[in-house]
């Protein structure tokens, strides 16, 4: 501890160089925070998926429908606690850019399968009793400034009503919260009955079923039992856990993880050179000073440690600043990825990266400082 | 003046090897920035090129009004007949319209690379599809036969998805479909698809609604008449678009996202590279304070000194951009990537490192070199001679 002022003084020996090196590292960790943050936000969507829930979709692809009659047959499978059903509504609000994740559902079944959604009792009752009623997640409602009681027109790109129009109107009767996973607050649910009676084609068909199993340990078994039930029928099913389902979907978009890894690898590769060169220069210039320290009684190991601490201080301090900037900047990505803050794990990873970087760039100059022979060093 | 500049610059460059270690910081910082920017932009360029390759100005696609994509559209059989008979559609020798009424269905096939399921387009195509899309031709096997469960697969689909090889069987809708042919169509988005006879696919999926009509027009100018005829027809509620517009719209979103990523990440990396360059050039200057002061003392002007330092940093930047561009080209040009397209299905495309991307890489590099060189250079020219000479 008593050497901290010494490390501090060494760092600011050449102000300009230290400042620019610091800034290079800050910038690299800003990028690390943002990119790794996005990456881990996507991973979290998958990790937070409920292990109790299964998705039963058509085996050809989840865009193919399933008959409504499967509902009672799935319910009768042992181990199934609740079943809900959803359809892909594919609407936008006012402008094609404002895509909304909206689903026609049976309100009571939906509530049983998604207990984490918190909707006030009177709003839930209103949904049950209003044919054109709908509920929206808190984040979605805030995004478009919707209030309970508003009449919301959505244009479906798929479903046409019997009157030939694709414009559907809903009465917003409730707004729900999902404290355990705010990313879920971006959806919109409305009554299936209204949807099924008004749509002009494909009536009685369901997009997919969501099954709540009574014992998560048996979910694989239950999934296999459901698929067996419909094997060799006209619409075979493929049942996967919610987690597998979301993983498969994210993978289809592209390998985000791989792209982020490539970019960060490139960033840290160049940072290794920038910081490494600074450390080398810093030690080279201080050869006489280091020799004096050794003359004063510093052991070889102490000198080695001194250089390593110098590099550690530089990297960790800059990394803290960079990650801090990333945390401050992260909320602006909310619309794109649905979460408002950088996952804390990224911060920890960042600090570990900084320590690794410090070790990698500091070790060669530190060894050189350790091996200095006093007489020769002083003579130079 | 010119002679002074040349003399100092030559001297500077000859001493570069002594400063090799720190000079690499500029080169590598810039190389990495350029490589990342060019690679991400190459992804956007490849995607846009694949979709644009699908389109012709004298071809139009008709889908139901209000649907943005074929997948969400529905058209009745009568409607498709009306559309194909509209004025402006080119006719073949027998007087039949060069148009194809189609559906797109989705088949889940595993990716060859990871084994995870991917949505693949199965397109049911009409009898005149081959003449409507003359760029498409078989490169192996034969055409499917109507009423038999046979498919042809695009070249990119064959390369990416399991079960899309010639002769392989795909099981869906309680039947085995055989891939009997492989086609190519100039690297466009149809190459990511499986195609089969429209009536066979409709009956397998128990559907009776079509989703789109693609028509080859008599000329690009015939489009307005064709569109007017369809949009004023009271029996139709359709959107009529030129293929070029339709496909350009589909690549907009992803291109925007990738461009944003490239400029955001590239911008921050460029900033980092500027700091690295400043560091290198400042230390280059401070190592030569005495030398520069001596030069000025014997009559060399400030401007030649500034220019000589700028030349040094710009040359290093140029070297960096060349390395970065070459790395992007070597490692990523032609790499096959797939992502979800507008129909919720996979579009396979190749990263394309174009020459204009390489040029913009050089521009970015020179900018970094300029900013990184100018401040140290000006400082070098400003240090009072006496102070500098006394310093050592």
Q: What is the pLDDT of residues B228-277, one digit of tens each?
A: 999 999 999 999 999 999 998 888 888 888 888 899 999 999 999 999 99
Confidence of residue B29 (pLDDT cuts 50, 70, 90): very high
Nearest CA in chain A to B120: A61
| Interface contact A277-B66, CB threshold 8 A | no
Q: Residue B340 is nearest to which of A24, A253, A266, comparing CB atoms?
A: A253
Nearest CA in chain A to B273: A24
| Interface contact A24-B174, CB threshold 8 A | no
| Interface contact B279-A278, CB threshold 8 A | yes
Whole-angstrom distance, CA of residue B267 vs CA of residue B244: 32
A264 and A328 belong to one structural domain? yes
Higher pLDDT, B172 or A20: A20
Nearest CA in chain A to B343: A63
CB pairs under 8 A between A and B: 137
| Identity of the highest mean pLDDT range in A63-72, A187-196, B100-109 | A187-196
Distance from CA of A158 to the nearest CA of B (A): 5
Confidence of residue A142 (pLDDT cuts 50, 70, 90): very high
Higher pLDDT, B174 or B159: B159
A237 and A308 belong to one structural domain? no
Q: Is A253 on the interface with B (CB under 8 A)?
A: yes
Give the phi and the psi of residue A304 in degrees, each rounded to 5. Answer: -55, -45
Cα–Cα distances (Å) from A72 to A77, A206, A242, A284, in that order, read 9, 13, 21, 78
pLDDT of residue B207: 84
pLDDT of residue B117: 81
Distance from CA of A96 to the nearest CA of B (A): 8
pLDDT of residue A336: 66
pLDDT of residue A255: 76
pLDDT of residue A1: 62
Question: Can you tell me which residue has the tokens 């399921």?
Answer: B117
pLDDT of residue A112: 94
pLDDT of residue A321: 96
Average pLDDT score over chain B: 90
A61 and A178 belong to one structural domain? yes
pLDDT of residue B11: 85
Cα–Cα distances (Å) from B218 to A8, A97, B135, B176, B215, in that order, read 78, 34, 17, 39, 10
Strands B175-184, B150-154: pairing kind? parallel
Q: What is the mean pLDDT of residues A333-362?
A: 86
Q: Does B134 have pLDDT greater than 90? A: yes
A69 and A192 belong to one structural domain? yes
Whole-angstrom distance, CA of residue A366 vs CA of residue A202: 73
pLDDT of residue B197: 95
Confidence of residue B35 (pLDDT cuts 50, 70, 90): very high
pLDDT of residue A49: 77
Cα–Cα distances (Å) from B303 to A186, A295, B323, B352, in that order, read 61, 47, 30, 42
Cβ pair A317, A297 in contact under 8 A: no
A151 and A232 belong to one structural domain? yes
pTM, two decimals, is 0.85
User: Residues of chain A with pLDDT > 70: what percent?
Assistant: 98
Last residue of a domain, one of A234, A251, A268: A251
Q: Cα dihedral sign for B257, B261, B267, B268?
A: positive
| Interface contact B25-A63, CB threshold 8 A | no
CA dihedral A297, A298, A300, A301 (to 10 degrees): 140
Nearest CA in chain A to B30: A270
Distance from CA of A110 to the nearest CA of B (A): 25
Average pLDDT score over chain A: 90
Nearest CA in chain B to A245: B117
- Cβ-based contacts of B279 with chain A (< 8 Å): 16-17, 20-21, 24, 274, 277-278
pLDDT of residue A81: 94
Q: Residue B32 is nearest to which of A60, A238, A269, comparing CB atoms?
A: A269
Q: What is the mean pLDDT of residues A91-97?
A: 90
- Cβ-based contacts of B276 with chain A (< 8 Å): 20, 24, 270, 273-274
Cα–Cα distances (Å) from B265 to A321, B258, B353, in that order, read 18, 10, 18
Token pair in block for residue A103: 């689903």
Nearest CA in chain B to A89: B72
Last residue of a domain, one of A224, A251, A278: A251
DSSP B86: S
Nearest CA in chain B to A34: B265
Q: Does B210 have pLDDT greater than 60? A: yes
Q: Buried b / exposed e across B213-227, counting CB within 10 Å, b at 16+?
A: bbbbbbeeebbeebb
Q: Which domain holds residue A298?
A: 4-45+255-379
pLDDT of residue B392: 53
Last residue of a domain, one of A233, A251, A269: A251
Q: Residue B66 is nearest to which of A157, A248, A281, comparing CB atoms?
A: A157
Q: In total, how many domains does chain A have?
A: 2
A246 and A286 belong to one structural domain? no
| Interface contact A263-B36, CB threshold 8 A | yes
A246 and A171 belong to one structural domain? yes
A260 and A300 belong to one structural domain? yes
A270 and A350 belong to one structural domain? yes
Q: What is the mean pLDDT of residues B201-214?
A: 90
Whole-angstrom distance, CA of residue B251 vs CA of residue B49: 9
A84 and A158 belong to one structural domain? yes
Q: Which of A112, A51, A110, A114 is nearest to A86 (CA)?
A: A110
A234 and A302 belong to one structural domain? no
| Interface contact B107-A201, CB threshold 8 A | no
Confidence of residue A337 (pLDDT cuts 50, 70, 90): low
- Cβ-based contacts of B108 with chain A (< 8 Å): 59-61, 238
Q: What is the pLDDT of residues A15-73, one digit of tens each?
A: 888 999 999 999 999 999 999 998 888 888 778 777 789 999 998 877 888 999 999 99
A205 and A83 belong to one structural domain? yes
Question: Best mutation site among B20, B27, B72 for testing chain A: the one with the most A CBs within 10 Å?
Answer: B72
Q: Does B303 have pLDDT greater than 60? A: yes
Whole-angstrom distance, CA of residue B26 vs CA of residue B16: 13
List the single range of A292-306, B15-29, B90-104 with lowest mean pLDDT: B15-29
């Amino acid at each position: 501890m008593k050497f901290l002022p010494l490390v501090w003084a060494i760092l600011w020996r050449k102000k300009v160089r230290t400042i620019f090196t610091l800034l290079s590292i800050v910038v690299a960790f800003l990028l690390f925070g943002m990119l790794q943050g996005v990456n881990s936000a996507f991973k979290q969507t998958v990790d937070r998926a409920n292990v109790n829930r299964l998705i039963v979709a058509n085996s050809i692809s989840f865009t193919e429908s399933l008959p409504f009659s499967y509902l009672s047959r799935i319910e009768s499978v042992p181990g199934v606690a609740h079943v809900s059903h959803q359809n892909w509504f594919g609407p936008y609000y006012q402008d094609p850019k404002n895509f909304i994740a909206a689903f026609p559902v049976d309100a009571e079944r939906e509530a049983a399968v998604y207990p984490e959604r918190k909707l006030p009792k009177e709003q839930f009752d209103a949904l049950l009793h209003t044919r054109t009623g709908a509920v929206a997640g808190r984040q979605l409602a805030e995004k478009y400034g919707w209030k309970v009681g508003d009449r919301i027109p959505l244009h479906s790109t798929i479903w046409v009503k019997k009157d030939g129009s694709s414009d559907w109107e809903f009465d917003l009767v409730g707004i729900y919260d999902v404290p355990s996973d705010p990313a879920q607050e971006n959806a919109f649910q409305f009554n299936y009955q209204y949807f099924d009676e008004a749509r002009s084609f494909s009536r009685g068909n369901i997009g997919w079923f969501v099954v709540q199993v009574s014992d998560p340990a048996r979910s694989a078994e239950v999934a296999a039992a459901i698929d067996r039930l419909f094997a060799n029928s006209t619409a075979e099913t493929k049942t996967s856990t919610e987690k597998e389902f979301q993983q498969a979907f994210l993978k289809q978009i592209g390998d985000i993880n791989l792209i982020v890894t490539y970019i960060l690898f490139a960033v840290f590769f160049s940072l290794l050179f920038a910081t490494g060169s600074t450390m080398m220069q810093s030690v080279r210039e201080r050869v006489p000073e280091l020799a004096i320290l050794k003359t004063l009684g510093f052991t070889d190991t102490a000198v080695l440690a001194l250089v390593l601490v110098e590099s550690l201080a530089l990297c960790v301090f800059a990394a803290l600043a960079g990650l801090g900037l990333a945390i401050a900047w992260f909320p602006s990505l909310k619309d794109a990825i649905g979460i408002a803050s950088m996952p804390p794990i990224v911060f920890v990873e960042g600090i570990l990266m900084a320590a690794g970087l410090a070790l990698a760039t500091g070790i060669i100059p530190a060894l050189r400082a350790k091996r200095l022979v006093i007489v020769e060093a002083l003579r130079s | 003046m010119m002679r002074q500049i040349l003399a100092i610059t030559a001297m500077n460059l000859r001493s570069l090897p002594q400063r090799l270690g720190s000079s690499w910081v500029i080169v590598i910082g810039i190389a990495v920035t350029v490589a990342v920017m060019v690679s991400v932009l190459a992804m956007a360029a490849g995607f846009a090129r694949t979709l644009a390759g699908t389109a012709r100005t004298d071809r139009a696609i008709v889908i139901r009004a209000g649907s943005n994509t074929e997948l969400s559209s529905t058209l009745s059989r009568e409607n498709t007949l009306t559309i194909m008979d509209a004025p402006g559609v080119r006719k073949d020798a027998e007087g039949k319209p060069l148009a194809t009424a189609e559906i797109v269905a989705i088949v889940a096939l595993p990716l060859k690379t990871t084994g995870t399921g991917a949505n693949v387009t199965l397109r049911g195509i009409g009898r005149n599809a081959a003449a409507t899309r003359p760029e498409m031709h078989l490169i192996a096997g034969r055409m499917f036969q109507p009423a038999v469960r046979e498919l042809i697969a695009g070249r990119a689909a064959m390369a990416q998805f399991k079960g899309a090889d010639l002769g392989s069987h795909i099981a869906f809708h309680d039947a085995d479909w055989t891939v009997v042919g492989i086609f190519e169509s100039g690297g466009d988005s149809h190459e990511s698809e499986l195609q089969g006879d429209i009536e066979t696919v409709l009956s397998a999926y128990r559907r009776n609604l079509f989703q789109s009509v693609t028509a080859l027009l008599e000329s690009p100018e015939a489009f307005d008449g064709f569109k007017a005829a369809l949009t004023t027809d009271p029996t139709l509620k359709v959107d009529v678009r030129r293929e070029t517009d339709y496909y350009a719209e589909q690549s907009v979103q992803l291109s925007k996202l990738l461009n944003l990523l490239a400029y955001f990440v590239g911008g921050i990396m460029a900033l980092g590279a500027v700091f690295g360059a400043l560091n290198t050039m400042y230390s280059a200057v401070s190592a030569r304070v005495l030398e520069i002061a001596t030069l000025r003392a014997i009559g060399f002007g400030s401007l030649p000194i500034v220019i000589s330092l700028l030349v040094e940093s710009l040359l290093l930047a140029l070297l960096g951009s060349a390395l970065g561009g070459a790395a992007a080209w070597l490692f990523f040009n032609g790499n096959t990537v797939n992502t979800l397209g507008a129909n919720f299905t996979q579009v396979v495309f190749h990263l394309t490192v174009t020459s204009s991307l390489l040029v913009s890489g050089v521009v970015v590099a020179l900018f970094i070199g300029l900013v990184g060189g100018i401040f140290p250079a000006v400082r070098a020219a400003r240090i009072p001679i006496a102070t500098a000479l006394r310093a050592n």
